[in-house]
Amino acid sequence: MLTFTDHGAPTALPTLLIVHGLFGSARNWGAIQRRLASDRRVVAVDMRNHGESFRAERHGYPEMAGDLAEVIEAIGGPVDLVGHSMGGKAAMQLALTRGDLVHRLVVADISPVAYGHSQVPLVEAMQALDLDGIAARSEADQRLAGAVADPGVRAFLLQSLDLKGDAPHWRLNLEVLGREMGKVTGWPGTEGRYEGPTLMLAGAESDYVRPEHRAETKRLFPNARFAKIPGAGHWLHADKPREFEAALRAFLA
């Protein structure tokens, strides 16, 4: 089963399950998870091939949704489900195929469509990074700067670099993520409908959620509402954490 972190105590409110995006982990959500746990149990997972969770040869949305279903059945459901980017697609896949496990759904900055971009260059940059002798993230950042120009993206990626133990290593299965990238940026074309309350929450500065996606989103999620967080990009929970948290609380209440 997926590794997860657990905060808060069970209350009358459903457990909140948080699902991170590509190259992320549960630890990226630590501060938000702890604050949201003030009135309910909040669980955040490490997805397969990420963080401390198991490594697997397949990394498609049917498999990821199955992993989430296993967690929900173990912790008790239905849950309020929040997924960002890759995690948002996995959450949508679960809602469409196992809607009985999802009480409310929040999808952060992604649509149920295939995207044309690829994150393989980031995988290759991480694989090519010389980790020999690195003792601090600042050193890794300097070395990675030649391949990844954006300091914000470098900072995000380097959260998955483990500097403890005998030798630095990535807490990501980069080989599989690179090979399965077409599945990650794609969409399996899942049919069905999830008629539960759904919030499609986007960053106003991001181009991942577009007007032309709305019709397909409403077809699959007929009760979807759409909202944007001003000043936030694709990593909206990191750009505007307080505003993101407030939007979650308002919708889930």
Which of the residues are catalytic?
85, 175, 234
Distance in angstroms (rounded) separating the CA atoms of residues 198 and 251: 9
220's tokens: 């699959």
- 130: exposed, middle or buried (C-beta count within 10 Å: 0-12, 13-18, 19+)? exposed
User: Would you say 124 and 178 are in contact if contact means Cβ atoms under 8 Å apart?
Assistant: yes
Distance in angstroms (rounded) separating the CA atoms of residues 71 and 4: 9
Before 78, cis peptide (omega within 30)?
yes
Return left, alpha or beta for 8; rule: phi > 0 is left, psi -120 to 50 is alpha, else beta.
left
Tokens 């069970």 sit at which residue?
A: 10
Distance in angstroms (rounded) separating the CA atoms of residues 80 and 105: 6
117's tokens: 């971009």
Distance in angstroms (rounded) separating the CA atoms of residues 84 and 25: 11
Amino acid at 212: E
